[in-house]
Each structure stands twice: as C-alpha cells, then as structure tokens.
C-alpha cells in the first residue's frame, strides 16, 4: 500500500514546489514592476514641477508614489518633493500674482515636517530643514527660523550637502544656482544673515549671492 501511494506523494510534492516557485516569481516580478512604476510616477511629477505647474498635478503624482509604494526609496523622495512643490507654488503665485497662498505654505510645512519625522536619517534631511527655515523666515517667525537653521547644522553629519536650484522661485535666470552647498557652511550663513536683516527679500538676495560662489554642481549626482 505504501509503494502504491509514493507516486501520488511525489506528484503532490512537485506540485507544491512548483506552486511556491510560481508565487516567488510573481512576487519578484511585482517588486520589479513596482519599482519601475514608482520611478515613473516620481519622474512624471518632477516634470510637472520643473515647468512651474501650479495645478497640483505634481503633488498628486508624488502622493500616489507614497500610497502605492510606501516602503520604496522613491516614497522618501516623493515625501520631500511634495513639500518642495507646495513651497515653490507659494512663491510662484506670490511673484506672478502678488497673492500670498498661505494654504500652500501650510501644506509645504506639513509635508516637510512629515519628512523629517519619517526619515530622521534621510538623504534629504538637511534640505528639508533648509526649506523649513526659509518658510519660517518668510512668515516672519525669526526665532523658529533660527532653531531650524540649528537643526539643519545638527543634521550635517547625516546629510552633508543641500541642493539649491534657486533660493526661492524667481523668473530671472540670474537667480539660478543649481548646485550643492555644504550643510554646515549654509547653516552658518543663514544664522549670520538672520542677525543682520529683517527683510526676507534682502535675505534671499544675500543667500543667492553666497550660493553662486560657494555651491557647485557635482560631476555626478550625489542625492
């Protein structure tokens, strides 16, 4: 009786092994497809943001990355980028229409604080503190800005470079920086300017002048 049951046992065992193998292959394929989907969504959102779109399409795509691929490296980038999008939106509307869209500024703070909370060792940690310091400065909350510059300085050991495209949005090509700044040095400059100027616009001008000289585009992408 035992010998008669052996073929059935082998068939069942082989069937189980085959099923497990298929499941593993499907799982791996889903992971690969998921990574590709996350990258594609992040890239599409960045394209909208790069052309100064203010319809929130970029934010929607970033949020889709975070919802659909929450454990991916793209989700971390999306969390930081969505905060940057809303901050940029505020300055675009302010420059173009002379309207202060505080709802967008509030959302920028919310998303950037969410980033530093979720990713305390993240690759955009110093960048997030830099953006938050500028937001606090624009609001006129100078003491809060000072605390954020100090937090940025503390983050330098974990994130030694801050990328600046422009200090704040501007239609002028002369304001382009497109370079990486040393986190410690940038924090020191921010703290120094905080004690010198009450005007946000003058501060932005001084930061822009400093960044032109001290922030350089790398030969390769470091973030």
**Same domain assignment for residues 141 and 219:** yes
Please tell me the predicted confidence (pLDDT) of residue 199: 82
Residue 136's alpha-carbon distances to 54, 95, 149, 160, 172, in angstroms, are 22, 18, 10, 22, 24
Q: Which of the listed residues 94, 119, 144 is the one where a domain comes to its end? A: 119
Tokens of 118: 């979720």
Q: Which of the listed residues 119, 143, 175 is the one where a domain comes to its end? A: 119
Q: What's the angle, vertex CA 95, arms to CA 143 and CA 57, rounded to 5?
A: 95
* Stated pTM of the model: 0.82
Q: Which of the listed residues 78, 93, 119 is the one where a domain comes to its end? A: 119
**Same domain assignment for residues 45 and 131:** no
Domain total of the chain: 2
Among 80, 146, 81, 147, which residue's Cα sits nearest to residue 115?
Answer: 80
**Same domain assignment for residues 109 and 177:** no
Task: Judge contact between 84 and 123, C-beta under 8 A.
Answer: no
pLDDT, tens digit only, all 223 positions of the chain: 444 444 543 444 444 333 333 333 333 334 433 446 999 999 999 999 999 999 999 999 999 999 999 999 999 999 999 999 999 999 999 999 999 999 999 999 999 999 999 999 999 999 999 999 999 999 999 999 999 999 999 999 999 999 999 999 999 999 999 999 999 999 999 999 998 876 899 999 999 999 999 998 866 555 6
Structural domain boundaries enclosing 97: 12-119
- Does 41 reside within a domain? yes
**Same domain assignment for residues 138 and 193:** yes
């Amino acid at each position: 009786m035992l010998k008669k049951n052996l073929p059935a046992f082998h068939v069942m065992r082989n069937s189980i092994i085959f099923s497990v193998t298929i499941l593993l292959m499907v799982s791996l394929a889903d992971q690969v497809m998921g990574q590709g989907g996350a990258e594609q969504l992040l890239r599409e959102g960045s394209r909208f943001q790069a052309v100064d779109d203010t319809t929130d399409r970029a934010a929607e795509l970033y949020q889709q990355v975070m919802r659909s691929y929450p454990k991916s490296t793209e989700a971390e980038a999306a969390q930081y980028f969505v905060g940057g999008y809303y901050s940029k939106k505020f300055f675009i509307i302010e420059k173009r229409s002379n309207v202060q869209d505080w709802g967008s500024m509030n959302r920028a703070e919310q998303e950037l604080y969410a980033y530093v909370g979720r990713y305390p060792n993240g690759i955009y940690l110093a960048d997030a503190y830099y953006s938050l310091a500028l937001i606090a400065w624009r609001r006129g909350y100078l003491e809060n800005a000072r605390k954020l510059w100090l937090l940025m300085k503390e983050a330098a050991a974990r994130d030694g470079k801050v990328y600046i495209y422009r200090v704040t949005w501007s239609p002028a090509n002369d304001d382009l920086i497109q370079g990486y700044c040393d986190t410690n040095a940038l924090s020191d400059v921010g703290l120094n300017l905080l004690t010198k100027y009450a005007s946000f616009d003058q501060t932005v001008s001084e930061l822009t002048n400093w960044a032109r000289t001290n922030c350089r585009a790398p030969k390769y992408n470091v973030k």
